[in-house]
Amino acid sequence: MGTFSKDFIFGTATSSYQIEGAIKEGGRTPSIWDTFSSIPGKVVNGDTGEMACDHYHRFEEDIEIIKSLGVDSYRFSIAWPRIFPEEGVYNPEGMDFYVNLSKQLLAQGIKPFVTIYHWDMPQWAHEKGGWVNRDSVKWFKEYAQACFKALDEYVDMWITHNEPWCAALLGYHQGVHAPGHTNMDEAVKAAHHIMLSHGEAVKLYKEELKLEKPIGITLNLSPIYAASNSQNDLLAANNMDGYLNRWFLDPIFKGKYPEDMMNLYSKYVHSYEFIQSDDLELISYPCDFLGINFYNRQLVEFSGASDFLYRLAYSDYPKSGMGWDISPKEFKSLIYRLRQEYTQLPIYITENGAAFDDVLEEDGTVHDTDRKQYMEQHILAVAELNQEGMNIAGYYLWSLLDNFEWAFGYGKRFGIVYVDFETQKRYVKDSAKRYAEIVGARKI
């Protein structure tokens, strides 16, 4: 059993492109995800975010659902192309949506936790080179400043970027996310500029604007394990850890890139001159917390045929509907490692959850026992970590609603609330009821 203090924050999370819809309303122009998802073959089933959960029109109903869960906080992101539909052109109508959303959350006693960038870069910015162009740092800073000025009085905490690994590596190296490029040189530059824009935004917030709410970044971290103790498999695990975890943790917390990975990448990255003299100091500008999105551990083995000498290995762990290992024990190990190697800042679990094949019964119930169990295991792990003094300050369940799961479309349901995408009717799943019970009792 585990308990939670009164000031521990429980919440749920979403992101703009995954739920809002209304892609042509309120002065919004296309984002890279509108473009990418409209290319045949890029998203399962040809799904796009055009309608998503129609949250733009139904946010009041969604706030009622959040309220019924009894959570302290709601994490959402802002759609950049609503705020700057063109370069340098601010759109107050786009911002009004988030001001209104935040005010209504506050009126219900729910704290807004805002992510500035959750992958929906404006198409205009992409056409000027996107994150590969160093000017993206300037564009992001202008956008972040507009968000801080309009929303800081309502917002409880700020996240600059959600999962830079996905935006940079899935978007520019693996090509499975927008903008769909497969170029490691671009990916490393994109990652650098995303992190630099994070540092610039934090510095702006604290030094120039002198604002005082907690601000940080969210990383998707997976502990990587070798399939055996062979030198080759250990090397494979080290490389994947570098690719996924250290490439972001080291610059943010140690002010340097991992040398082994710089060497490994130099086959693709012909010059590191794009890293300018003060960049790492800015990237490691002190934040107030670290956000972590945790889903699974990963097991890898050596592969001479792969770019960085690793590939995923067979694992006999139970799996979520994404085929990901369910691994609450390794979640705890990840936190121990962060505490030992990287930071003593408060940690927020800004996402944790699982997709499963849910069945909507005729009476409107969804008995998502697997998701309930996944959630319980991870919340219990958080309670245990806190008993050991690990200072986890909050937990956000991903996700409030079934939504647009990027390249997987609407087929993968992560919500604790079922969405019928034909009618847009919402149905509270058993996992949501159980979550409300845990939050209410502050005990698991």
Catalytic residues: 163, 351
Reduced to 3 states (helix: H, G, I; strand: E, B; else coil), residue 137 is helix
Tell the smallest beta-carbon distance from residue 163 to ligand IFM (Å).
Answer: 6
Q: Could you tell me if 296 and 224 are in contact, meaning their C-beta atoms sit under 8 angstroms apart?
A: no
Nearest to ligand IFM of 297, 309 (CB atom) = 297
Rg (CA), the chain: 21
Query: Does 350 contact ligand IFM by CB under 6 A?
Result: no
Indicate whether 163 belongs to the interface with ligand IFM (CB under 6 A).
yes
Instruction: Report if residue 398 touches ligand IFM, rule: CB under 6 A.
Output: yes
| Distance in Å, CB of 26 to ligand IFM, minimum | 22
Q: Minimum distance between the CB of residue 207 and ligand IFM, rounded to whole angstroms?
A: 30
Lookup: tokens for 257: 């890139």
DSSP string, 277-344: TTHHHHHT---SEEEEE----EEEEE-TTSTTSEEE----S-B-TTS-B--HHHHHHHHHHHHHHT--
Q: Which is nearer to ligand IFM, 4 or 435 (CB)?
A: 435
Question: What part of residues 249-308 is at the interface with ligand IFM (CB under 6 A)?
Answer: 293
DSSP class of residue 3 equals B
Residue 163: name the closest of 398, 408, 415, 343 by CA. 398
Site residues (CB under 6 A) for ligand IFM, limited to 6-35:
15, 18
Torsion angle (degrees, nearest 10) of CA 332, 293, 405, 85: 180
Strand, helix or coil at 79?
coil
Q: Number of residues interacting with ligand IFM: please give it, by CB under 6 A.
A: 8
In whole angstroms, how far apart are CA 385 and each of 138, 323, 345? 39, 26, 14
Question: Which of 20, 54, 250, 405 is close enough to bind ligand IFM by CB under 6 A?
Answer: 405
Distance, CA of 319 to CA of 296 (rounded, Å): 9
Shortest Cβ 118–ligand IFM spacing (Å): 6
- Find the binding residues for ligand IFM in span 187-226 (CB under 6 A): none
For ligand IFM, the closer CB: 12 or 15? 15
Q: Tokens at residue 21, please?
A: 């819809």
Is 362 in contact with 369 (CB distance < 8 Å)? no
| Cβ pair 10, 349 in contact under 8 A | no
Q: Which is nearer to ligand IFM, 54 or 351 (CB)?
A: 351
Cβ distance to ligand IFM smaller for residue 219 or 300: 219
Report in angstroms how near the CB of residue 374 gets to ligand IFM at its nearest: 13
Q: Which is nearer to ligand IFM, 17 or 148 (CB)?
A: 17
State which of positions 409-438 bind ligand IFM (CB under 6 A). 414
Nearer to ligand IFM, 121 or 280 (CB): 121
To ligand IFM, the closest distance from the beta carbon of 212 in angstroms equals 28
Where do the DSSP E strands lie in 197-273? 215-220, 224-226
Task: Specify whether the CB–CB gap between 427 and 400 falls below 8 A.
Answer: no
CB of 368 to ligand IFM, least distance (A): 16
Is residue 421 a contact partner of residue 404, using CB atoms and an 8 Å limit? no
76 binds ligand IFM (CB under 6 A): no
Q: Which of 47, 325, 351, 368 binds ligand IFM (CB under 6 A)?
A: 351
Query: Which residues of the shown chain bind ligand IFM in the complex (CB under 6 A)?
Result: 15, 18, 163, 293, 351, 398, 405, 414
